[in-house]
Structure 1
């Protein structure tokens, strides 16, 4: 089995040519601009991956974790762009990132090597006045036994190392909702397992997650391969 680890919302960068469209840059530093602390977790996990990839382009430029036809592919800042400009964003950022990951997975599956793909994200602790009662979310497709197996094992490993963490399945989002793992799951029907790991942003201080949390995740994931 090959372990693939990705981070689609690792940063809030806006390339120079698109900065004029972002007059209010304060939003880039919020959860709307990127997943706070996610890149820090990704960097901790990267050494245990057989393949990894990440993006530091803001999701407000183009949303790498949504399908090409999703109405939220472009944000309020980039929806007014011309069709040609949008296609350039798709070609230069969206397709470039997703195709690299897809190509690696396809190559492994071609050689009958199974792939476990963990996509690292974080979520805002409060949304629409609702306090999210969760520390770590494990998002997967509950209809698939293989994904259920790894999701269950991951939660069990985390709790064994730190029983104080509130770990929930398919929270605060559903694993079968539109996302990169969902798209890959639909493309690769066999030997691909895609799980999103969502971490509460309340743990993030200056974009850094606690060492203890990162180590718990790292060792829990290592045990998935045994």
Structure 2
């Protein structure tokens, strides 16, 4: 058992909202937090670096929480910075624990031994995935559908390249659900929304959509929103409303 002080520094790896929600949608926000326990001394980074996108998905947690209420959906949010370990990366890939994020080196991740890697897996990665998996298994046992929607955000500029999209819908096997969401969001002629942008989906680069979604036959999409659009409460409200309407419209496609 962790001591009280230790428990404060190491909160539960996952924040669970509305676990008994009746919606078929299960919301996931792996990059909800930029929190790093004090013992890691910010991984050698300054406060301004940890406030950037490299440490978390700006605005994604707020959208996820609001969607959970509007849709009456369960939601699972990560409580640690992806710089410690990325909940949306397979454990064997290089950027599971990144040495460099975009153009920023992460000093605290250099030369990690196997014990430290295992520690982060046991403290952060596995508890999150196990809690989500148990929830999905219970819903299946209860005869309920699992439609996974991961909420992320991306930067307007990456390594000097401008990104013109307002949002992207990422998917592999869930073609009907993914294309349906794009069609609904694209009803607004001012929105630039496309499939599998600014990233694609693969078993080497993604975890939830593959492991909890496609491999188990659960329809799964990942929604990427440009983070300058959800960096304040007004933007969060606007995009929560857009996504709620779009998701309700495609519920039958899943």
TM-score (norm. length: structure 1)? 0.88
Is it true that 1:198 corresponds to 2:229 in the alignment? no
Gap runs ≥5 in structure 2: 1-22, 100-107
Gap runs ≥5 in structure 1: none
Is it true that 1:42 corresponds to 2:64 in the alignment? yes
Is it true that 1:90 corresponds to 2:90 in the alignment? no
Runs of 4+ aligned structure 1 residues displaced above 4 Å come to none
In structure 2, relative to structure 1, the CA distance for the partners of 1:111 and 1:211 (3 Å cut) is closer
2:90 alignment counterpart: 67
1:115 alignment counterpart: 146
Shift of 1:224: 2.5
Deviations for 1:64-95, whole angstroms, at most 9, x for unmatched residues?
A: 11001111111223243332222111111100
CA distance in 2, matches of 1:210, 1:104: 27
Name which of structure 1's ranges 170-179 and 194-203 shifts more when overlaid on structure 2: 170-179
1:4 alignment counterpart: 26
How many equivalent pairs are there? Answer: 219
Residue of structure 1 aligned with 2:186, choices 145, 159, 165 = 159
| 2:165–2:194 CA contact under 8 A, matched in 1 | yes
Residue of structure 1 aligned with 2:213, choices 181, 185, 190 = 185
1:217 alignment counterpart: 243
CA distance in 1, matches of 2:65, 2:145: 23
Q: CA RMSD in A?
A: 2.1
| 2:170–2:221 CA contact under 8 A, matched in 1 | yes
Name which of structure 1's ranges 29-38 and 45-54 shifts more when overlaid on structure 2: 45-54
2:195 alignment counterpart: 169
CA distance in 2, matches of 1:90, 1:222: 35
| 2:156–2:163 CA contact under 8 A, matched in 1 | yes
CA distance in 2, matches of 1:42, 1:195: 14
